[in-house]
Amino acid sequence: MFLEPIDFAHMYKEHKKQTVFKGKNSKDWDNRSKELAPTMQNSLYVEEFISRMDICKEDVVLDIGCGPGTLAIPLAKKVKQVIAIDFSAQMLEELEAYAKKEGITNIKTYHIGWEDDWNLLPEIDIAVASRSVEVQDIGVALEKISAIAKKACYVTYKAGGSFVDMDILDYIGKKIITKPDFWYIPILLYKDGYLPQIDYITSQKGSIKSSNADEFVDSLIWSLGSLDEAQKSKAREYHYLFIEKNNKQVKPFTWAFIAWSTQKDFPLKCKLHV
Domain assignment of residue 118, yes or no: yes
Taken in order 124, 127, 132, 138, the sign of the CA dihedral is: positive
- For residue 32, the domain's CATH number is 3.40.50.150
Report which of 127, 120, 117 is spatially closest to residue 151, judged by C-alpha positions: 127
* Residues 6+ away with beta carbon under 8 Å from 214: none
Within-domain flag for 266: no
Instruction: Please list the pLDDT of the chain residue by residue as tens digits (274 residues).
Output: 667 789 999 999 999 999 887 676 777 666 666 666 566 666 789 999 999 999 999 999 999 999 999 999 999 999 999 999 999 999 999 999 999 999 999 999 999 999 999 999 999 999 999 999 999 999 999 999 999 999 999 999 999 989 899 999 999 999 999 999 999 999 999 999 999 999 999 986 666 788 889 999 998 998 888 899 999 999 999 999 988 887 777 778 899 999 999 987 677 766 666 5
Q: Is residue 218 part of a domain?
A: no
- The pair phi, psi for residue 124, each rounded to 5°, is -120, 130
- Would residue 75 count as lying in a domain? yes
Q: How many domains does the chain have?
A: 1
- Is residue 213 assigned to a domain? no
Task: Tell me whether residue 273 is in a domain.
Answer: no
Range of the domain at 97: 8-163+177-206+251-261
Interatomic CA distance for residues 95 and 101, integer angstroms: 10
Q: For the whole model, what pTM was predicted? A: 0.90
**Identity of the amino acid at 93:** E
Query: Does residue 46 lie within any of the structural domains?
Result: yes
239, part of any domain: no
